[in-house]
Each structure stands twice: as structure tokens, then as C-alpha cells.
């Protein structure tokens, strides 16, 4: 286990860390909420919750907070930052990386699959045609992949489908719905993540694209030929319809629906349950049904 001083020295290099005060050197054995922390625990406190009383009551060994050191006991190592959640995330990723505990892949490997040796697939994963997985990719149990490229560091949860056919039909002269063939792919950029029970359809012609660092939450549907920009967030239950474009750093809140062909600008926010029927400008916030600018 790392010590409080080892963690503090490692975190000094991050730009978000403003200062470090070393307390007693102690082994950090676990992570805990600040109110439940005891000796050997590391914790963080959000700026809005940081009060002198709460700091004085902290009984852990290391705290990440936007806090003056005089309010903490001298034994506590303090990592002072205006972004404690972000810095604590970096601490966890470096010293206490989560272990999903999934059993390893045991299924057949298609002859055309291109799988980096460092990719990790869980038991029950199904690989179809045209799958390429980069270094450090992780794929959860019972997920189905086909006609897709997952770049380095992509993570995919359990029970997700990437690269299945989308929903596209054209009525013939007698009104029967004729399926439009989907022959495209899905391309997922470096470091993106896709959660559990999500669905990302392959393009009809061309590709459906998830940008580098984008975050697709559980139960999200990304339809054919949609484009999700770098570092965008599409959150639980949201639907992004065919050929829609979500800009870099945009935020699509839970249960929102983005109509086909719509463009959501960079850093825009779509509120919970909003139904977007018109383009949204960069940095705008829209709410409601139909969605209107706030």
C-alpha cells in the first residue's frame, strides 16, 4: 500500500494541485467518504461542503480538499486544490485502480479479428466480423461487438451492443417496410467509454463515430451515422438519433432525445428529458419538449 507521503509527492505534478501539506507518514489502506474516514483512509470533500467543523472532524490520514491547513489536525496530509473531485479521481486511478472482477474471455475468435494482446475481454463477449481492438481496451460480459474499431484505452461495459444494424426502412409501393442495408462501421476514439446495456448502431454507409474521451452512459442508444464529439457526455437513457452530431464537450442529460440530423454545438447542454428538434448553438443550454434555449 502507498503511504500518504508517496501519494502527496506523486500528486504534486498535477496542475490542479495548489499545495501539499505533509502530515504524519502513514500507509493508506483504503478510500472512504470523509465523514467515515479513519486512520489509513484517504478521502475528499467538495468545496461547497468544506466547513471548519467538517475539517476539524476529519479522522483520516489524507484529505483532498479546497481547505486551509490550519483547520485540519497536524497528522493529516492535505492535498489542497480547487478541484478536489478531479484530483481524487487521479489519486484513485494511480494508486487504487478499480478491479471489475470479470472472468476472462472464453469464446471463439473470428479469423479477421484484430485484437491487441493487452485488450481484456470478459467471459460471454461475442465477437462478430470486422472487429479491431486497440491497446488496453476492456470489454464487459455478454457484450456483442461487430464491424467496429475501438481505439486504445476504450472501455465498454456489460450487455452492450456495438456495430449491430440500425433502424432504417423504406416503404415500397404496397406500403411494406423494406429494410435499408447497414454496411458501415462504428469507430470509437481513444480513451472513450461506453457503459452497460448501451447500443451503438453501425453506419448505413460510412461510420457511426464516438470521439476520443467521450463518455456514453448506461442504457444509451446511439443510432446509425451519429457523431459524438470528443469529451462529450451522453447520460443514462438518452437517445441520439441517426446522423445527429453532438459537439465536443457537450452534455446530453438523462432521458434526452436528439432528433435525427440535428447538430448540438460544442459545450452545449441538453437538459433532462428534453426533446431536441432544432440545432443547438455552441455553449447554449436547452430544456423542455420541444427543447428551447434557457
Q: What is the pLDDT of residue 102?
A: 85
Domain boundaries, the chain: 4-95, 114-293
pLDDT band at 29 (very low <50, low <70, confident <90, very high): very high
Superfamily of structural domain 114-293: Hexapeptide repeat proteins (2.160.10.10)
- The yes-or-no verdict on residue 100 having pLDDT over 80 is no
- The yes-or-no verdict on residue 98 having pLDDT over 90 is no
pLDDT band at 283 (very low <50, low <70, confident <90, very high): very high
Q: What are 9-18's pLDDT values in tens digits? A: 999 989 999 9
Q: What are 167-180's pLDDT values in tens digits? A: 999 999 999 999 99
In angstroms, the CA 176 to CA 57 distance is: 69
In angstroms, the CA 157 to CA 107 distance is: 17
Percentage of the chain beyond pLDDT 90 is 92
- The yes-or-no verdict on residue 117 having pLDDT over 80 is yes
- The yes-or-no verdict on residue 99 having pLDDT over 90 is no
- Told to judge if 221 belongs to the known catalytic residues of this protein, a careful annotator would answer no
Dihedral sign, Cα of residue 37, residue 39, residue 44, residue 49: positive
pLDDT band at 163 (very low <50, low <70, confident <90, very high): very high
For the chain, how big is the Rg over CA atoms in Å?
A: 23
Q: What are 37-63's pLDDT values in tens digits? A: 999 999 999 999 999 999 999 999 999
As a whole number, mean pLDDT of residues 191-195 equals 98
**What is the value of pTM for the model shown?**
0.87
Q: What is the pLDDT of residue 245?
A: 99
Q: What are 210-242's pLDDT values in tens digits? A: 999 999 999 999 999 999 999 999 999 999 999
> How many CA atoms within 13 Å lie on the side-chain side of 55?
24
- Mean residue pLDDT of the chain comes to 95
The catalytic residue among 41, 147, 182, 224 is 224
CATH class of 4-95: alpha beta
- Angle of helix 84-95 versus helix 4-11 axis, rounded to 10: 120
Per-residue exposure over 46-70, b if at least 16 CB sit within 10 Å of its own CB, e if not: eeeebeeeebeebbbbbbbbbbebe
Q: What is the pLDDT of residue 142?
A: 97
The string of DSSP letters for 219-253 reads T-EE-TT-EE-TT-EE-TT-EE-TT-EE-TT-EE-
As a whole number, mean pLDDT of residues 266-290 equals 98
Percentage of the chain beyond pLDDT 70 is 100
Q: What is the pLDDT of residue 76?
A: 96
Q: What is the pLDDT of residue 107?
A: 84
Q: What is the pLDDT of residue 151?
A: 98
Amino acid at each position: 500500500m502507498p503511504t500518504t507521503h508517496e501519494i502527496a509527492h506523486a500528486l504534486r505534478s498535477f496542475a490542479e494541485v495548489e499545495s501539499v501539506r505533509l502530515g504524519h507518514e502513514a500507509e493508506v489502506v483504503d478510500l472512504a467518504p470523509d465523514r467515515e474516514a479513519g486512520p489509513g483512509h484517504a478521502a475528499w470533500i467538495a468545496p461547497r461542503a468544506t466547513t471548519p467543523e467538517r475539517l476539524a472532524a476529519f479522522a483520516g490520514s489524507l484529505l483532498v480538499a479546497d481547505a486551509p491547513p490550519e483547520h485540519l489536525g497536524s497528522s493529516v496530509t492535505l492535498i489542497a486544490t480547487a478541484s478536489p473531485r478531479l484530483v481524487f479521481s487521479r489519486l484513485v486511478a494511480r494508486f487504487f485502480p478499480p478491479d471489475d472482477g470479470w472472468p476472462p474471455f472464453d469464446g471463439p475468435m473470428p479469423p479477421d479479428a484484430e485484437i491487441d494482446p493487452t485488450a481484456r475481454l470478459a467471459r460471454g463477449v461475442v465477437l462478430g466480423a470486422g472487429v479491431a481492438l486497440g491497446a488496453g481496451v476492456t470489454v464487459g460480459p455478454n457484450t456483442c461487438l461487430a464491424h467496429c474499431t475501438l481505439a486504445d484505452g476504450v472501455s465498454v461495459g456489460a450487455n452492450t451492443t456495438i456495430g449491430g444494424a440500425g433502424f432504417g426502412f423504406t416503404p415500397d409501393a404496397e406500403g411494406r417496410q423494406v429494410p435499408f442495408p447497414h454496411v458501415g462501421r462504428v469507430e470509437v476514439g481513444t480513451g472513450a467509454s461506453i457503459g452497460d446495456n448501451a447500443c451503438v448502431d453501425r453506419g448505413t454507409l460510412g461510420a457511426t463515430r464516438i470521439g476520443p474521451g467521450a463518455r456514453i452512459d448506461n442504457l444509451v442508444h446511439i443510432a446509425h451515422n451519429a457523431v459524438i464529439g470528443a469529451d462529450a457526455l451522453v447520460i443514462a437513457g438518452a437517445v441520439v438519433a441517426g446522423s445527429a452530431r453532438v459537439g465536443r464537450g457537450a452534455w446530453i442529460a438523462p432521458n434526452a432525445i436528439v432528433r435525427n440530423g440535428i447538430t448540438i454545438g460544442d459545450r452545449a447542454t441538453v437538459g433532462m428529458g428534453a426533446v431536441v428538434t432544432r440545432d443547438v448553438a455552441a455553449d447554449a443550454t436547452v430544456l423542455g419538449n420541444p427543447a428551447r434555449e434557457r
